[in-house]
Amino acid sequence: MHDSFVGLSETLVRVLGHSLWQGALVSVLVGGVLQLLPAKRSGLRYGMAVGGLAAVVLMCFGTWSVLQMEAMPVGNSTRASAAAFDPKFNDEANSQSAVAIARAWDDPASTPRSGDTMRVGGQVIANWLSAVWLCGAIVMLIRGVWGFVAVRAWLGESAKNLQFDVSVLEAIVKELSHRLGLRRVARVFVSDRINVPAVIGAIWPVILVPPSMLSGVPVEQWQIIIAHELAHVRR
């Protein structure tokens, strides 16, 4: 069990190390493509960025697979095949192992060397780095889930604020969405948890507005504000 964990931690650290240059390479390539694409092709630009992130993830899985294959000893598979077809192979292997253990016990050179000590130290560092990375990944996952739950709670509270008339804002959102070529029309909710308008959600976007801005803000300014929020959705 301990040896398996050590092997996995070493492989994980190597994968994370390779992900640095892989991510840098993908960033340079995606950045160069984005420089060539015009700003009006926002959908294609967004697709390229998402594709770059997906490429980094796939590279990490590919690197993991390659390192796992490299760590798999070829001799073990050969010995297993020989043992399956020749029952005498097991007896010979056991006797050879016993002789090797006896020689190693009597050989002073078999004592741990400085190279072995460095390898053990590297394994300890790899274990700690793997533990730190795993804790960070768990924290970020919990943070994302907590943010999603909090946003859903905000939407639930905002849906109850029916006393505010947002029909004018909804008409502006519908018009601007059509002009920007958005397939989904964002909904408008009122939330007292924010101080400035904000947009949340990419698949089903929602524009949140504070109740303090529903009075005293002219329609022309609302068009600018909503156009700014819908620009985030389009990206």
- The domain segmentation of the chain, as residue ranges, is 2-123, 167-234
DSSP string, the chain: -HHHHHHHHHHHHHHHHHHHHHHHHHHHHHHHHHHHS-TT-HHHHHHHHHHHHHHHHHHHHHHHHHHHHHHS-HHHHHHHHHHHH-THHHHHHHHHHHHHHHHHHH-GGGS--HHHHHHHHHHHHHHHHHHHHHHHHHHHHHHHHHHHHHHHHHHHHHHT-TTS--HHHHHHHHHHHHHHT-SSPPEEEE-TT-SS-EEE-SSS-EEEE-GGGSSS--HHHHHHHHHHHHHHHH-
Higher pLDDT, 111 or 206: 206
Question: Which of the four CATH numbers 3.40.50.2300, 3.90.1150.10, 3.30.2010.10, 3.40.50.720 does domain 167-234 have?
Answer: 3.30.2010.10
Question: Is 157 a residue whose pLDDT tops 90?
Answer: no
> Per residue in 24-55, pLDDT tens?
999 999 999 888 888 777 778 878 888 998 99
Question: Is 160 a residue whose pLDDT tops 70?
Answer: no
Higher pLDDT, 168 or 86: 168
The model carries a pTM of 0.50
> Per residue in 95-113, pLDDT tens?
555 555 455 445 555 455 5
